[in-house]
Every structure is written in structure tokens, then in C-alpha cells.
């Protein structure tokens, strides 16, 4: 089944403890991206990747890192999480950067205490 | 900076009614516009994608139109059903200073009453 898989689904952590949220797609998509969704602010793009080893900042990249060493994986890294990074995170992918529908993962609810 | 606005924020209609959701964007230099559906606690599902050169796209009971020059898009849902209840979001791809950013509206929460 074609899908975007995020793990974990729920995560509770403490301030400053490094964490990684994984994202994997099995559709051979070139484009992958990360978003956070907050009440009243909607969905905002964090980082995106147009292909392996090619990443760029979205609207809210501060406090986040990404890497794209393989086509199928695009992990989101929080080196030193803070409470303002408590949010619902989504990973998405599409065949190419613009002209294809985006496929979303089921989301990761992160709480930073 | 691109801004995307969706009006209304919430809409409640009786089953069977035809309805229109609105999306507007401030920068007309877009590559495409997508409409998504989000069910509570779940990810987004892409419904329709309209390229910047297109005027509309249709899928079943859904029809999306795009007027790039005026910065507007509408999503028309015919003969609404309770299963259509969800939040609908629009998003535009645009090129800002050589990057390819995707900007979302905050969504319209639709409730279809049986």
C-alpha cells in the first residue's frame, strides 16, 4: 500500500532532550516536506526536500533540522526541544516538487514539558 | 509573503445542499493550488490540484475553480452528505526568492447535518 509513515504517533518529552521524528515513503517520491499544525495558526511548512541531499527552509525552520540521505526517508530532528515546539507534526511527499498531489502521514503529536 | 485566507471558518448545512468554500491568496505568482480534506485526528487527503494554467478541476461531486489574476479559488460540493463533514484546506505553491514554499489557509470546518 502506498503510504507515508511517521513515527512515533505520540511523543512526550522534556525540554532540551534531543529527539527525532521519522518519516518514510514507499512511493519513490522526490519531494518530501514537514509541517506543524497549531490551533489558530493552521499548517506551516518547516522544511522541504526536493531530492536526496537537497533541503531548504520553509516558513518556520527555527529549532529544527532535517536530512535527506535516502530518497525514502526524511527525519525531523529537534536538537533541543522547547515547550513552544509542542504541536502536531505532519510529513508529506509527492512525486515531484510542485505538480503532483501531496500525500500526508498520519501525524505526530509532540508535547514538550 | 504569501498569505492564504479561507472564508468562512466554519459552515453548517443540511444534507443534500450544494455549497461553496472560498480560498483567497495575496500573491498571484503561484504554481498550483490544492484542496485538502482533514478528518479529526488524521492527516490531510488531497482532493483536487489545479495547475496555474488551468481554470478548474472536477472529481465526482467536487469542483474546484481557480482565478489566478484575482487570487481566488472556490471548492464546490454538490449534494452534500454527512460523510463530507471535515475541515477543508486550500494551499498554494509559490516561488519566493528562488524557493518553493507551500502555504496553507486555516481551513473551513464543514458540518453536514442529516
How would DSSP label each residue in B38-87?
A: E-TTS-EEEEEEEETT-SEEEETTEEEEEETTTTEEEEEE-S--GGG-EE
Question: Which tens digits make up the pLDDT trace of B46-97?
Answer: 999 999 899 999 999 999 999 999 999 999 999 999 999 999 999 998 766 6
The answer to whether the Cβ–Cβ distance between B42 and A43 falls below 8 Å is: no
The answer to whether the Cβ–Cβ distance between B100 and A105 falls below 8 Å is: no
Angle at A92 between CA B30 and CA A39, to 5 degrees: 80
Instruction: Compute CA B37 distance to the chain's CA centroid, rounded to the nearest angstrom.
Output: 8
What is the full per-residue pLDDT of chain A (113 aa) written as tens digits? 889 999 999 999 999 999 999 999 999 999 999 999 999 899 999 999 999 999 999 989 999 999 999 999 999 999 999 999 999 999 999 998 777 899 999 999 999 99
Instruction: Please report which residue ranges of A40-95 form alpha helices under DSSP H.
Output: none
pLDDT averaged over chain B? 93
The answer to whether the Cβ–Cβ distance between A59 and B101 falls below 8 Å is: yes
Q: Give CA–CA dist B114/B16, Å, rounded.
A: 9
Tell me whether residue B107 is exposed, middle or buried, using C-beta atoms within 10 angstroms of its C-beta: 0 to 12, 13 to 18, 19 or more.
buried
Q: How far is B74 from chain A (nearest CA, A)?
A: 18
The answer to whether the Cβ–Cβ distance between B89 and A42 falls below 8 Å is: yes
Q: Which 86-105 residues of chain B touch chain A by CB within 8 A?
A: 89, 91, 93, 99-105
Write out chain B residues lying below 8 Å of A4, CB-based: 43
Counts of helices then strands in chain B (DSSP H, E): 0, 11
- The per-residue pLDDT for B96 is 61
Q: How many CB atoms are closer than 10 A to CB A99?
A: 13
- The per-residue pLDDT for B21 is 97
Write out chain B residues lying below 8 Å of A33, CB-based: 102
Amino acid at each position: 500500500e502506498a503510504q507515508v509513515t511517521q513515527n512515533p504517533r505520540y511523543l512526550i518529552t522534556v525540554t532540551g532532550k534531543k529527539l527525532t521524528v521519522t518519516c518514510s515513503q514507499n512511493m519513490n517520491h522526490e519531494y518530501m516536506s514537514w509541517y506543524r499544525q497549531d490551533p489558530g495558526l493552521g499548517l506551516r511548512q518547516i522544511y522541504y526536500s526536493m531530492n536526496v541531499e537537497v533541503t531548504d527552509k520553509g516558513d518556520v525552520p527555527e529549532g529544527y533540522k532535517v536530512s535527506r540521505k535516502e530518497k525514502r526517508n526524511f527525519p525531523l530532528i529537534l536538537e533541543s526541544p522547547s515547550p513552544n515546539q509542542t504541536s502536531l507534526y505532519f510529513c508529506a511527499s509527492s512525486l515531484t516538487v510542485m505538480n503532483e498531489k501531496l500525500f500526508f502521514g498520519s501525524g505526530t503529536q509532540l508535547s514538550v514539558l | 509573503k504569501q498569505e492564504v485566507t479561507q472564508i468562512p471558518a466554519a459552515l453548517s448545512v443540511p444534507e443534500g445542499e450544494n455549497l461553496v468554500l472560498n480560498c483567497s491568496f495575496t500573491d498571484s505568482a503561484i504554481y498550483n493550488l490544492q484542496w485538502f480534506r482533514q478528518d479529526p485526528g488524521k492527516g490531510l487527503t488531497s482532493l483536487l490540484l489545479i495547475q496555474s494554467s488551468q481554470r478548474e478541476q472536477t472529481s465526482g461531486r467536487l469542483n474546484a475553480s481557480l482565478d489566478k489574476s484575482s487570487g481566488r479559488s472556490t471548492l464546490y460540493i454538490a449534494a452534500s452528505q454527512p460523510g463530507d463533514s471535515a475541515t477543508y484546506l486550500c494551499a498554494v505553491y509559490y516561488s519566493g526568492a528562488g524557493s518553493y514554499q507551500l502555504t496553507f489557509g486555516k481551513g473551513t470546518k464543514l458540518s453536514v447535518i442529516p
